C-alpha cells in the first residue's frame, strides 16, 4: 500500500500483519434484517433490495467540493431514496459508475422521511446476491483513523487472514472445564472479525483469550519455579535489638493484618531465598510500617535498602516518615532524586556506592546507570502500578538477587494480581489502623458551591485544614485552574484564612516549602492538583473538596479521598460535579456508596478497562500482550491457564518435550523479559 494509508494504519498502532489480525472490532452491526420497502418504518436500521430507477449528481456549494448523489430504487412494493454525500470536484463520480439504472442492489442504513419519501443517507450498498464482507451478515465495525474507510480496512483484514492465516498455528492444550472450542487460530481470528452469528464471535474470542492466558501463565509459572530453585538471596537473621527497639517504640498498636504481614516478610527475609512479595492495601492501611520494618531488618543484617516512589513529593514523604520511625536508632537514610543539584547528587551517589548510606529513598533516579550500591539487599517499590515490570527489574539488577517488596495503595483485584504479579506472593492489609476516621462522601452540583465554601470556612475556623483539588493548573475552556482558584479564594471567600497553592510545575524546593507549611498548620486551605494524590499525611486535614470531580478516574478519586480521615476529627469528601456521561455519573455514585478500595478497584476496572485502570499504556497490562482476553469476563480461563501451566512444568520443568519447544519459541517472542533463562 501507499505511504498515506500506511501512515493512517500507524495511527492505530498497526505496523505488522499480526497487529492487523488482532485489530478487533469495537462492535458489530447486524445487517441481516431485510424488509420490503413498504414495511420499513422511519428510524429503522434495515436492508432493502431494489432496482435502480435513476441516479442524479450535483456539486453542492461548498469550499470542499461536496457532491450530493441521489438514487431512486424500487422493489415492487414501493420506492426509496438513497442519498450520498462525498467529496469531489468533478462529475461524474465513482458512485454514478457503481449505481447504474436497471441494476439490482442491496442497501443498508437508517431510514428517515424526506417529505413523503423514505430515504437512507450514506447507505452501505452492493450488487444484490453478491457475497459481501459489508452487507447481508453481521458486519464488524473496526476503529478507524485518518482517511481509512471501514470497507477498506475490512478488506485488508480479510486479505491478511487469507494470505497469512495458515502461518499462525501453535499447538495448544484445550481445557474441558471451562470448555474452550479447539478452533485453529486462523479460524478463530476469522470468526472474531467475520462471525456467522453472535455466539460464534464470543466463542472465537474465548479461544484466542485462552491462548493468550495460557502463554502468559506458562511464562509466569516458569519464572516462579525458577525463583523457587534459584541461587540464594541475601540471608537475614531473626529480629535483633535494632528491629525490636523500632517495634517497641511505635506510638500505635499494629493491626492483626500488619502483624501477619510482618511475620510473612520476616519469613521471606530469613529463608535465604529472594523475597518476591506484593503488599497491597487500601489508602491508609499502614503499608509504610511494614516497609520500614523490612528495610530496618535488612540494615541490621549489613545490607542496604532502596525505596522507589513515583514522584519526588511522595519520596520526600517517605523519607520524613522513615526518619520519624527510626529517630534515635542511628540509621543513615537519604533522599535521591533527579532534582538535586548536580554536585549534591554526585556526592550522594558516591556515599551510596561506598555503602555509607544504609537506606536510599528516591524516584526513578535510583535506576539510572550512574546510581550504584555497595550491597543492595532489599528493594521496596511503592505505587507499583505507576511503574512496570521492567523498572522493577532494573532496580533489582542493582544488587545480587535482592529481596523485593512491592506496595500498592490501589487495591488490585485478585485475578489481576495473579496475572500481573504471578511471580509474587500476595499479602493484603485488610483493616485500617485504630483512629482512622471513616470519610463521609457527598456529591454536590456546582451551583451548591457557596454552601460548600460556607462549610469549609466553619471547618477552618474550628482549627482544621482542608484540600481543594482542581483538575488542571491553569484556566482553560472557561474553567478555573488551581492558580486562578487559589488567587480568587484568598481574595474573596477565604479572605482572612491562609491559602496555599501546590502543583507539579512548581520547583521541587517550592513544593517542599508549601507542603511543610501545610503540615505545620501555617497553610489552612491547600489548593492543589493531583500532585497530592498519594503519600501526603496531614492529620489535621479533615475535608477534601474535588472540583469537576467527573474529570477524575474512580481510583484517583478514592486516593484523593484518602488524604483526609487521618486525625481524630470527622472527615468529609465533597465532590463538585455535573457529569455529562453515564460512566462519569456512575463513578461518583460508586464513590458515595462505598469506601471499600477493593470494590472500587473492581468497579474502576469494569468501567475503564484494564489498560486505563493502570493509567499506563507503556508499562502495565499492554506489556503482557493481552488483546483478546478480558480479565473480568475470563476469570475462569485465567485460573485454568495457571492450573495447566503448573501441570506442564511439573512434568517437564525445562519445556523440552514436544510440543514444548514450540511453546518456548512463542514465549521468547511474547515475554522475553519474564523468562528465567535465555531460550
SS (H, E, C) 195-237: CCCHHHHHHHHHHHHHHHHHHHHHHHHHHHHHHHCCCCCCCCC
Cβ proximity of 178 and 639 under 8 Å: no
**Helices 312-325 & 508-519, crossing angle to 10 degrees?**
50
Name the pLDDT band for 392 (thresholds 50, 70, 90). Answer: low
At 286, list the grid cell.
Answer: 499502614
CA 293 vs CA 55, 322, 359, 654, 663: distances in Å: 81, 10, 12, 37, 41
Cβ proximity of 68 and 62 under 8 Å: no
Helices (H), 256-354: 256-269, 287-300, 312-325, 342-353
In terms of DSSP bridges, do strands 465-469 and 525-528 run parallel, antiparallel, or are they unpaired?
parallel
What pLDDT does residue 362 have? Answer: 92
- Residues in CB range of 625: below 8 A, 6 or more apart: 212, 216, 670, 671
Q: Decide: residue 91, CB within 10 A, 0-12 exposed, 13-18 middle, 19+ buried.
A: exposed
**Residues of 291-323 as b/e, b for ≥16 C-beta within 10 angstroms?**
bbbbbbbbbbbebbbbbbbbbbbbbbbbbbbbe
Name the pLDDT band for 239 (thresholds 50, 70, 90). Answer: very high
The pLDDT of residue 478 is above 80? no
Q: What would you measure as the largest C-alpha separation in the chain, in angstroms?
A: 97
The pLDDT of residue 649 is above 50? yes
Other CB atoms within 10 Å distance of the CB of residue 54: 10
Name the pLDDT band for 623 (thresholds 50, 70, 90). Answer: low
- Percent with pLDDT over 90 in the chain: 59
524-557, pLDDT tens digit by residue?
999 999 888 766 778 899 999 999 999 998 888 9
What pLDDT does residue 257 have? Answer: 92
Neighbouring-strand partners of residue 81:
72, 119
Name the pLDDT band for 620 (thresholds 50, 70, 90). Answer: very low
Q: At CB < 8 A and 24+ separation, what contacts does 569-572 make?
A: 569/437, 569/464, 569/540, 569/542, 570/437, 570/440, 570/542, 571/437, 571/438, 571/439, 571/440, 571/542, 571/543, 572/439, 572/440, 572/441, 572/442, 572/455, 572/459, 572/542, 572/543, 572/544
What pLDDT does residue 40 have? Answer: 96
Neighbouring-strand partners of residue 429:
281
State mean pLDDT over 266-283.
88
Domain architecture of the chain: domains with CATH: 7-152 (2.40.50.140), 241-271+286-408 (3.40.50.300), 446-577 (3.40.50.300)
Say how far apart CA 207 and CA 210 lie, in whole Å: 5
Q: What's the mean pLDDT when you consider all of the chain?
A: 87
Cβ proximity of 99 and 128 under 8 Å: no
Say how far apart CA 616 and CA 102 lie, in whole Å: 56
With residue 640 as reference, give the H or E element that holds it: helix 635-651
Say how far apart CA 224 and CA 219 lie, in whole Å: 9
Name the pLDDT band for 617 (thresholds 50, 70, 90). Answer: very low
**What's phi and psi for 355, nearest 5 deg?**
85, 10
The pLDDT of residue 604 is above 80? no
Q: For residue 28, is it left (φ>0), alpha (ψ between -120 and 50) or beta? A: beta
At 29, list the grid cell.
Answer: 452491526
What pLDDT does residue 431 have? Answer: 78
3-state secondary structure of 21: helix
488-518, pLDDT tens digit by residue?
999 999 999 999 999 988 887 788 889 889 9
Name the pLDDT band for 616 (thresholds 50, 70, 90). Answer: very low
**pTM summary value:** 0.64
What pLDDT does residue 615 have? Answer: 34
What pLDDT does residue 7 have? Answer: 94
Amino acid at each position: 500500500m501507499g505511504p498515506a494509508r500506511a501512515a493512517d494504519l500507524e495511527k492505530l498502532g498497526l505496523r505488522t500483519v499480526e497487529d492487523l489480525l488482532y485489530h478487533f472490532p469495537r462492535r458489530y452491526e447486524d445487517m441481516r434484517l431485510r424488509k420490503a420497502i413498504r414495511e420499513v418504518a422511519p428510524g429503522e436500521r434495515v436492508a432493502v433490495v431494489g432496482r435502480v430507477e435513476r441516479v442524479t449528481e450535483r456539486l453542492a456549494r461548498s469550499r470542499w467540493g461536496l457532491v450530493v448523489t441521489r438514487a431512486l430504487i424500487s422493489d415492487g412494493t414501493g420506492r426509496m431514496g438513497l442519498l450520498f454525500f462525498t467529496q469531489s470536484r468533478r462529475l461524474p463520480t465513482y458512485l454514478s459508475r457503481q449505481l447504474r439504472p436497471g441494476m439490482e442492489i442491496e442497501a443498508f442504513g437508517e431510514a428517515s422521511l424526506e417529505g413523503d419519501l423514505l430515504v437512507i443517507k450514506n447507505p452501505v450498498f452492493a450488487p444484490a446476491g453478491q457475497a459481501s464482507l459489508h452487507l447481508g451478515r453481521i458486519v464488524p465495525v473496526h476503529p478507524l483513523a485518518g482517511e481509512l474507510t471501514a470497507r477498506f480496512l475490512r478488506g485488508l483484514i480479510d486479505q491478511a487472514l487469507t494470505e497469512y492465516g495458515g502461518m499462525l498455528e501453535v499447538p495448544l492444550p484445550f481445557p474441558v472445564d471451562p470448555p474452550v472450542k479447539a478452533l485453529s487460530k486462523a479460524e478463530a481470528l476469522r470468526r472474531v472479525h467475520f462471525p456467522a452469528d453472535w455466539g460464534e464471535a464470543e466463542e472465537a474470542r474465548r479461544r484466542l483469550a485462552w491462548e493468550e492466558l495460557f502463554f502468559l501463565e506458562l511464562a509466569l509459572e516458569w519464572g516462579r519455579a525458577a525463583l523457587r530453585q534459584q541461587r540464594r538471596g541475601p540471608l537475614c537473621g531473626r529480629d535483633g535489638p535494632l528491629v525490636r527497639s523500632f517495634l517497641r517504640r511505635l506510638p500505635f498498636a499494629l493491626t492483626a493484618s500488619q502483624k501477619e504481614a510482618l511475620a510473612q516478610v520476616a519469613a521471606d527475609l530469613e529463608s535465604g531465598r529472594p523475597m518476591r512479595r506484593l503488599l497491597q492495601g487500601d489508602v491508609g492501611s499502614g503499608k509504610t510500617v511494614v516497609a520500614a520494618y523490612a528495610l530496618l531488618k535488612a540494615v541490621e543484617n549489613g545490607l542496604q535498602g532502596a525505596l522507589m516512589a513515583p514522584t519526588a513529593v511522595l519520596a520526600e514523604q517517605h523519607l520524613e516518615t522513615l526518619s520519624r520511625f527510626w529517630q534515635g536508632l542511628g540509621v543513615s537514610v537519604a533522599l535521591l532524586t533527579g532534582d538535586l543539584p548536580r554536585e549534591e547528587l554526585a556526592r550522594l551517589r558516591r556515599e551510596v556506592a561506598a555503602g555509607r548510606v544504609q537506606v536510599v529513598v528516591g524516584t526513578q533516579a535510583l535506576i539510572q546507570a550512574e546510581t550504584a550500591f555497595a550491597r543492595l539487599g532489599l528493594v521496596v517499590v511503592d505505587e507499583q502500578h505507576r511503574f512496570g515490570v521492567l523498572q522493577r527489574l532494573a532496580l533489582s539488577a542493582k544488587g545480587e538477587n535482592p529481596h523485593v517488596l512491592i506496595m500498592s495503595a490501589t487495591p488490585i483485584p485478585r485475578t489481576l494480581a495473579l496475572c500481573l504479579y504471578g511471580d509474587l506472593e500476595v499479602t493484603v492489609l485488610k483493616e485500617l489502623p485504630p483512629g482512622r476516621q471513616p470519610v463521609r462522601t457527598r456529591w454536590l452540583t456546582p451551583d451548591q458551591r457557596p454552601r460548600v465554601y460556607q462549610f469549609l470556612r466553619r471547618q477552618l475556623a474550628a482549627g482544621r485544614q482542608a484540600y481543594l483539588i482542581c483538575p488542571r493548573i491553569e484556566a482553560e475552556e472557561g474553567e478555573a485552574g488551581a492558580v486562578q482558584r487559589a488567587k480568587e479564594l484568598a481574595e474573596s471567600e477565604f479572605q482572612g484564612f491562609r491559602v496555599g497553592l501546590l502543583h507539579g510545575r512548581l520547583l521541587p524546593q517550592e513544593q517542599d516549602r508549601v507542603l511543610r507549611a501545610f503540615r505545620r498548620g501555617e497553610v489552612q486551605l491547600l489548593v492543589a492538583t493531583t500532585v497530592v494524590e498519594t503519600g501526603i499525611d496531614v492529620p489535621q486535614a479533615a475535608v477534601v473538596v474535588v472540583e469537576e470531580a467527573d474529570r477524575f478516574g474512580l481510583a484517583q478519586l478514592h486516593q484523593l479521598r484518602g488524604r483526609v480521615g487521618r486525625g481524630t476529627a470527622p472527615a468529609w469528601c465533597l465532590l463538585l460535579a455535573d457529569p455529562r456521561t453515564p460512566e462519569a455519573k456512575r463513578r461518583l455514585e460508586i464513590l458515595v456508596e462505598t469506601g471499600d478500595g477493593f470494590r472500587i478497584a473492581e468497579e474502576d476496572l469494569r468501567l475503564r478497562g484494564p489498560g486505563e485502570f493502570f493509567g499506563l499504556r507503556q508499562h502495565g497490562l499492554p506489556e503482557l500482550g493481552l488483546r483478546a482476553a478480558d480479565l473480568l469476563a475470563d476469570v475462569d480461563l485465567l485460573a485454568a491457564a495457571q492450573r495447566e501451566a503448573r501441570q506442564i512444568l511439573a512434568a517437564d520443568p525445562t519445556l523440552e518435550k514436544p510440543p514444548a519447544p514450540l511453546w518456548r519459541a512463542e514465549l521468547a517472542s511474547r515475554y522475553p523479559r519474564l523468562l528465567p533463562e535465555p531460550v
